[in-house]
Copies of this chain bind each other. A is one copy, B any other.
């Protein structure tokens, strides 16, 4: 229904008639579902889907409504990849994050509804098994799954801290070397909960390595360092693969969908899987995130009417890190972040200063053709790269992993900036902005699907068991 008319009445800040009807029906239907969950055992998954839909409607409406407010408050930016460089609201990911956090907070009671009813009614008409010594003053206090509640709350804290970091960065342009550490601090709550709840620091080794190191390798405290690194890497990695309309939200949506697919593989096993709770938890966090992200994408897709800002990228990365760590599948998460890992590795020479790094490395818009081209970093004739760097650059160019220009004397005058988006443009020639975003998103999807396939099918070649087998392997991190 959205955007059916060629020129919908949505240029301003109010919803069009069809959008209003759509959102009203969504919120109404979702509210009915939400109220109905109280008749059964709480049905947390149904409640979660309903809240995700409400989050979608709320986020879609609020981004529309708040545009002028954001511009007035100074959150605005020019879209450099359009002929007239329009000025549009920036940092709308903050709205997305705020709605998402609100949804998560409202959702808190639902997964525990069954336990709450059991605790308060004495469990008479519920199928909760309890022992008489647990009844204290008519309440089953000891039966309440406080550890699950603590997991859930720690996830919210880590995400909120990240939102505060993102907003701070959008406001103040925090220096790179400072902001790198903050997601590590934001991860403390989930690491503490991981420590007291699971404390599993062993990883399963591939069969070829088992004769030398045993079946399980206990990483000990290093495992926590590893998890903190996951929490620091995910937000930055989403933030690095950015710069064209829609790419930040689209990649996050692809990763979310793949994580949901992975969860579904565990939840749809023919027998109750030991990791069911972890993957339910992951769904509770991911579905509302998909809801608000789709709403944001409708505003941020080409041609963008809002920018998402650093807040969205950090927050999105932290959502993935949180479900990966607390759901015990941080290695699987790594398989879904291969394009981000590749982008980070490819960017390393510029990040570490071996090659000059301009402030922005997003692809260059060619106003004559209306297409995107690789942006470049230049060397004046007098200041050439060091010999070893020059050799490496020429080698990369020979391998079609870089585009360089040389003058008649054999000096390197310019090289394409080292990001995945520029590399894709080196390979696939000039592309329109939306086409570039679409192709990179499809790349993310294909790589991720192959990663999941590898995880669940090929992994049996080098690991002993998988979730479809009667697994004890899932007791350790996958």
Chain A positions within 8 Å of B, measured between CB atoms, are 66, 69-70, 73-74, 98, 101-102, 105-106, 108-109, 112, 115-116, 119-120, 139, 141, 144, 146-147, 149-150, 153-154, 156-157, 160-161, 163-164, 167-168, 171-172, 185-186, 188-189, 192-193, 195-197, 199
Cα A185 to Cα B108 in complex, Å, equals: 12
Q: Residue A188 contacts which of B66, B106, B144, B167 (CB distance < 8 angstroms)?
A: B106
Q: What is the CA–CA distance of A105 and B98 in the complex, to the nearest angstrom?
A: 20
Residues of B within 8 A of A73 (CB): 74, 171-172
Question: A119 CA to B193 CA in the complex, in Å?
Answer: 13
Contacts A156-B157, A172-B69, A185-B105 given: A119-B196 contact, CB under 8 Å? yes
Main secondary structure, interface of A, reads helix
A112, A160, A168 — most chain B CB neighbours (10 Å): A160
A342 to chain B, nearest CB (A): 32
Most buried by B among A153, A193, A197: A153
The chain B residue sitting closest to A196, CB to CB, is B144
Q: Contacts A164-B163, A189-B105 given: A139-B69 contact, CB under 8 Å?
A: no
> Which residues of chain B come closer than 8 Å to A161, judged between CB atoms?
101, 105, 160
A40 to chain B, nearest CB (A): 20
Query: Contact: B146 with A98, CB < 8 Å?
Result: no
Best-buried of A69, A164, A193 by chain B (most CB within 10 Å): A164
Complex: A172 Cα to B115 Cα, angstroms = 40
Measured CB to CB, the closest approach of chain B to A244, in angstroms, equals 26
CB distance from A378 to the nearest CB of B (A): 30
24 contacts between A and B (CB under 8 A): A70-B172, A73-B74, A101-B164, A102-B185, A105-B157, A105-B161, A105-B186, A106-B185, A108-B188, A109-B192, A112-B196, A119-B196, A139-B199, A141-B197, A146-B147, A146-B149, A146-B150, A146-B196, A149-B192, A149-B193, A149-B196, A150-B150, A153-B189, A164-B164
Chain B residue, CB-CB nearest to A171? B73
Residues of B within 8 A of A154 (CB): 153
Measured between beta carbons, the chain B residues less than 8 angstroms from A160 are: 157, 160-161, 164
